[in-house]
Structure 1
């Protein structure tokens, strides 16, 4: 009996010898989950969130590997084989991943496999070593296998991915399958007379999303706007330009970037110009980022890979073209070239990002020849902004670390405002609010500053900071100004601050990372939410009040809305829609 008992005790000792310790691995999994929660928390600094998203999986996988090998009580060949199998299968899976999904294997795949290994360790902690190895590698195989059958169609402003099965057609594929996008045979543009330039480029006449045309006050809860037309469009984050009944925008169609002209009243295609170019990345997907600019019968459009074209606005005929990324040896920005062309007299300004002086470039509107260029290196997603201070026209341009006022004619630097600690790539526009005051964004999700621009008796210019505020922290969402107050996005929440001191007046409206337009005559704001709704808000500083909302578009909407000729135009990377505003007044 003692022999039998001793034999049984020996079996118990052998079982105990391969029983795994699970808490060290799960501790790292909980840490990774906490970092991921911080990544999708918009109130946290955007740079910190990005570091958590990209560096978190690396740091946690190193910690996980150490815990798994040295503290799990697994046989060394089980732990090392599991980790080696995980990494090898991950490398193989990436080779067969859907387009634009590769980075998702890092951001989401590594944390997922750590969790699955920990689940397998917990489930198989008392089985024999070979069973532990089989259980964990089986779960890892299921994890990498699941990632192999999905694709990422983009990531929203909170870093939450839009996931679809890789065999399901994308919106662009459905569009290409259902439309050949050809003009009818013999179609010619009909007569077109330019009688108004109500919205000639990015964010309107002065690039400030301000509508000065008379519009009566509206109440959408009583009478929502009437939809006039709706049509599918190709991917892209371009806004729209509306001039005398014509609408110009940019979109992707297969391997071509298109500049497209539609009838603004019906949505009917009038002409398009195609350039063989395609840009896409995991966050925003495919398509151009900039918005066309109309001036003196021409349309200027800048592609995501740095191709600038000048087109005849009537026919779409190519007048001239510059492939700036190739010409100035510029690096392709991570989100593509996004600078909307800015016309100052007879020159058009775009950010090229080349070496030496080939940063911000001014080209002749008629010929495309370079008039002047200015150093401005690094990634930059903003555009030149017009300002008139003390009667002098200026181009305000933000680059990493500074905002500058330049002479549009010569490129001479008139003044500079240094942004302390400003290393973020610029995205949001500066905005003039009074004769001598600018509101300058300090960086992605950091805050804004009020900067006074004065000309001294000597003729020199001086930029003086009046205040800084963290109460309005725009990311890629431009703000608007009206009657002493600034309205815009404090990260993902709509807010209002006092333009005289930067103090918060209210913060309401969880609209995600959207955009806004101010209707000056009726003191109302149209806000497009990140989810595709349009919300009507009163532009009053002492209270927040919604006056109704409409379900406009179905998916992520980052494009700037347009109000022109008493119509509202909204688009995203899938659809474009027009609403009548004239009959919806109170």
Structure 2
């Protein structure tokens, strides 16, 4: 029987296998990426989700080739493992540098950090044995983190609104040790914290010249890379607090110091991590010391510290989340709570006539009686110190209300605090309770005329406090990034994360109106530190550099600054 004409012969080629998966996987990944970019999430959340899509794309394609591709099995497995091996090797010998959005901004060989390199170029630990001869308060001081109020605000003369016609004048610039501390300023002097090699320092600078007057060092080095390679970089985070001729500090690993403000001599210290058996959280102890002055006769001035908790702490297993020390002696006055603290600082607030210490924890806002530490109320506020931390301060508003803000896609909430007899309660005032505005990650908001201004990711945003709705938001180039916001009268000063710029903007809900730009610090260097204004003096720093400027005042052109009028001599060391 003759074969059918269309029957295949032995020499006919095998039908080509249709390759579907790689193209379908690429299309799915592209669709996922585009969908992420169309959301209203902040840039850091978008970058995190986009990175996950990229990793899944790479894993899917290399995995498919290892299983279904052509060629020797060893080659296919090698190609599957190569990208992951390359990332591992690069991470072993080099350090990726990330900004607040999670974007890679540099690659540096592991080894000596910037602060280590500076160790030979900055003064060793030294004291001003004879004391600073002209130490004393000024007309406008900024003695602690964010100044004197619940948000960063400079109280002083009105600033000029046109920096093109009347630009700021640089007074000095110098290299500085690593860290995210800001300056606390009293009179002519500013105190900050730095990392220099293996030493954690508190340094007092003469703001007339930028020269160090005294420094105190401890053999402590905090580096988030010790915690499973986390980002964040080395150095102390908290800002010193100046009160009663003393300087109170908390280092990156929880070492609390009380120093003589005139000489830098240590008066007392407490290693809180060791004394209270708590863990140093991933990005370090960032809470600045809270000075709580005497309220009732017979009580002592207090220094309140966010101490934290050990891993896995539960109610009843730990009682020192927050500790108050006698400001004069360093003795413990009270301790309270079991929850892990956030990266924000404790703060004083008067609600219903009672003085409270407000503290954000991993998943709650906690309010305590300032005199004895008794917890009076808690309010749910989600956060996790290991991956979605709370860094922003609680904002006190009129009529016993509070404003909470947080990044990582969360937003803001305005709450009413009520009190009947001895019973306290809280109630959200917006609907929904958390609005997708003011998603502050590393920064804080400022408040003026019923509106809050803050950095929502890389956008500067104005929100109506009555409704919780966005009024305007602005992206600029170079980007604000994850910088900081300072209020001065009816003006905002926003320090940019990477460009080194300080931007002058009108603090108005009407519209975004940029009035000037100052290249305050060098470019391409991270700045997460808060700027400070004292009178007409601007003091600003990053992790590697500090600078001071004279700002023009409203209605003047070249009026001398108090800093310029003072003698250029520093106190004897």
TM class by shorter-chain length?
0.7 to 0.9
For residue 556 of structure 1, the aligned residue among 508, 523, 526 is 526
2:466 aligned residue: 500
Q: TM-score, normalised by structure 2?
A: 0.81
- TM-superposition CA deviations, 1:442-486 (whole Å, max 9, x none): 554411111122332x24333222124222211121000011111
Following TM superposition, by how much is the alpha carbon of 1:576 offset from its aligned partner in structure 2, in angstroms? Answer: 0.7
1:299 aligned residue: 247
Kept in 1, the 8 Å contact 2:405–2:438? The answer is no
Aligned-partner SS, 1:394: strand
Aligned-partner SS, 2:93: coil
- C-alpha change, 1:76 and 1:51, in structure 2 (3 Å) is same
2:260 aligned residue: 312
- C-alpha change, 1:502 and 1:269, in structure 2 (3 Å) is same
- TM-superposition CA deviations, 1:298-319 (whole Å, max 9, x none): 1111111111111111100011
- CA separation in 1, counterparts of 2:101 and 2:449? 31
- TM-superposition CA deviations, 1:229-286 (whole Å, max 9, x none): 1111011100110001110000111110110000122211100000111122352221
Q: Matched residue pairs, number?
A: 516
For residue 214 of structure 1, the aligned residue among 126, 134, 157 is 157
Q: TM-score, normalised by structure 1?
A: 0.79
Q: Kindly indicate whether residue 550 of structure 2 is the aligned counterpart of residue 580 of structure 1.
A: yes
Q: Kindly indicate whether residue 244 of structure 2 is the aligned counterpart of residue 244 of structure 1.
A: no
If each structure's helix is expressed as a fraction of its own residues, which one has the higher value?
1
1:538 aligned residue: 506
1:28-427, aligned counterparts within 5 Å? 44=41, 52=49, 59-60=56-57, 62-83=59-80, 96-98=92-94, 101=95, 152=96, 154-166=97-109, 171-177=114-120, 179-182=121-124, 188-196=130-138, 198-281=141-224, 283-345=231-293, 346-355=301-310, 356-378=318-340, 380-419=342-381, 424-427=388-391
- TM-superposition CA deviations, 1:74-128 (whole Å, max 9, x none): 333331244456666765665x523xx3xxxxxxxxxxxxxxxxxxxxxxxxxxx
- C-alpha change, 1:87 and 1:572, in structure 2 (3 Å) is closer
- TM-superposition CA deviations, 1:191-214 (whole Å, max 9, x none): 134234711100001241122223
Following TM superposition, by how much is the alpha carbon of 1:579 offset from its aligned partner in structure 2, in angstroms? Answer: 1.1
For residue 486 of structure 2, the aligned residue among 517, 521, 524 is 517
- CA separation in 2, counterparts of 1:62 and 1:559? 38
- C-alpha change, 1:217 and 1:389, in structure 2 (3 Å) is farther
Unpaired segments ≥5 residues, structure 1? 1-8, 102-151
- CA separation in 2, counterparts of 1:394 and 1:53? 42
- CA separation in 2, counterparts of 1:303 and 1:20? 63
Kept in 2, the 8 Å contact 1:496–1:504? The answer is yes
Aligned-partner SS, 1:544: coil
Aligned-partner SS, 2:268: strand
Kept in 2, the 8 Å contact 1:219–1:547? The answer is yes
- CA separation in 1, counterparts of 2:11 and 2:131? 89
Kept in 2, the 8 Å contact 1:343–1:349? The answer is yes
Higher relative contact order (CA 8 A, sep 6+): 2
Kept in 1, the 8 Å contact 2:440–2:456? The answer is yes
- CA separation in 1, counterparts of 2:31 and 2:129? 59
- TM-superposition CA deviations, 1:299-344 (whole Å, max 9, x none): 1111111111111111000111111112222222111111111111
User: Which has the higher mean CA deviation after the structures are superposed, 200-209 or 69-78?
Assistant: 69-78
1:429-508, aligned counterparts within 5 Å? 429-442=393-406, 444-456=408-420, 458-467=421-430, 468-508=434-474
Following TM superposition, by how much is the alpha carbon of 1:215 offset from its aligned partner in structure 2, in angstroms? Answer: 2.2
- C-alpha change, 1:526 and 1:245, in structure 2 (3 Å) is same
- CA separation in 2, counterparts of 1:59 and 1:398? 35
CA RMSD in angstroms comes to: 3.3
Aligned-partner SS, 1:286: coil
Unpaired segments ≥5 residues, structure 2? 1-8, 225-229, 294-300, 311-317, 557-573
- CA separation in 1, counterparts of 2:59 and 2:126? 60
